[in-house]
Structures are given as C-alpha cells and as structure tokens.
Amino acid sequence: MELNADFSQRVVVHSDQLEWSASPMPGVDRRMLDRIGGEVARATTIVRYAPNSKFSAHTHSGGEEFIVLDGVFQDEHGDFPEGTYVRNPPTTSHTPGSEPGCTIFVKLWQFDMEDRNQFRKNMADELASPVDGVATAQLHSDDRETVSYSHIDAGAALNMSDTGGIEMLVIAGSLTEGGETLAKGAWLRLPEGQPLSAVAGADGAKVWVKTGHLPYAKPPAA
C-alpha cells in the first residue's frame, strides 16, 4: 500500500474529517496519514484505543515514536497521559493498550536502525521561554532529524526553513499556512526545500514538528 508516498509534494490531511478504519485488533481503529508497505509499514497514523482495548505483545523492529493526544496510553512500562512524547527505538517491545481509552499520533519504521535511545517526555514541561510569541521544546535531535513541540500565541508566526523536509501536526488551536486553515488534527508535510510559514489563529496553536527526516524515508526492511 502507498498513501501520500511522494515526498516531493506538499501534503495536508485534515485527520479529524477522516473516517476511522478498523485495525487487525478489536477496539483499535486508525486514520492513516502516510504509508509505504502492508500491515508492516513505514507509516504515520492516528490510532484510537477504545476503553479496555489492547494490542498483542510485539517488538518494534523499525522503531516507534508517538504522542498521546488524549486519554492515557498504557503498557508494562507505565501510564502515558495526554501530552506525553515517547520514543521506542528498534528492538524494544511492549504490550500496548488503554483501560480508559486514548488516541495517539504514531510513526513506525522511521528510525535509524542503530538508534537505542528510548525515553518519554511530558512535552509541556520541556517548553522554553517564548520568543516573539512562540515557546518551543526540543524533544529529540540527532544527525537525521529534529523533533519539537511549540505553543504559538494568537497571531504569532512560526517560520522554519530547515533542510530535509518539514512535518507538522496541529494538536490544538489553528494556523494558516499556504492560504489554508489547519485546525486541530491537521497534518502537514512539506518537501525538502520548501519553508514553513504559518500564523496562529485567534486561539493560538499547539504543534508537534519534525524536520530533516524525509531524505531517509523508505519502506521497512524485509
């Protein structure tokens, strides 16, 4: 399966407008944003766990990173409340689920295969003091990518010209980019060489951003 697999093109998906699709596990549904591969795929997805649902135990051969958008995600390593950012690198394993239910934004098979840096962070706790109306937390950085989280005041601008592509998820509020309004749940991917220039709406915005990673995009290893 290929979905939004041309990384040379600007892509916007208003995920809150998509229908939920069932996953192989009962009670776990998803909204696919981009995908290369079958059930094992390089994928970016919104996943919803119904209360008391779970996946079977599995190992992340290609790594997994996710944000908890609402509710509480759970596995044998603990509880992960709304606002948590998690990186589970290649070779890590768990049995994910949620007793109260939750929604997460998750990326699979997008790690350096030698990465072993496993961690979790409360994104808001990492925010630096605002500059020109934008407070930013650097969540992760390596030779391949930089991951950040920002609170943007109403009317403030978020500008980036990082090499290697830019990807953004609107977690709350709204922004205008390229003449288009990106509300909560909107996912934007800009190709390498295209800068980001966005202005927050009347309620401000909270966004997750990844840059530098698109040149490394490829299907999962066999």
The one-character DSSP state at 17 is G
Domains and CATH numbers, the chain: 18-121 (2.60.120.10), 123-216 (2.60.120.10)
Instruction: Indicate if the pLDDT at residue 181 is higher than 70.
Output: yes
Render pLDDT for 38-66 as a digit per residue (tens, 0 to 9): 878 899 999 999 999 988 888 888 999 99
Percentage of the chain beyond pLDDT 70 is 99
Q: How far apart are CA 115 and CA 38, in angstroms?
A: 24
Q: How many residues does the chain have?
A: 222
Render pLDDT for 71-126 as a digit per residue (tens, 0 to 9): 999 999 899 999 999 999 999 999 999 999 999 999 999 999 999 999 999 999 99
Confirm if 146 and 138 have CB atoms less than 8 A apart: yes
Is 218 or 88 the better-scoring residue by pLDDT? 88
DSSP 102-139: EEEEEEES-S-TT----EEEEGGGGPPPPBTTEEEEEE
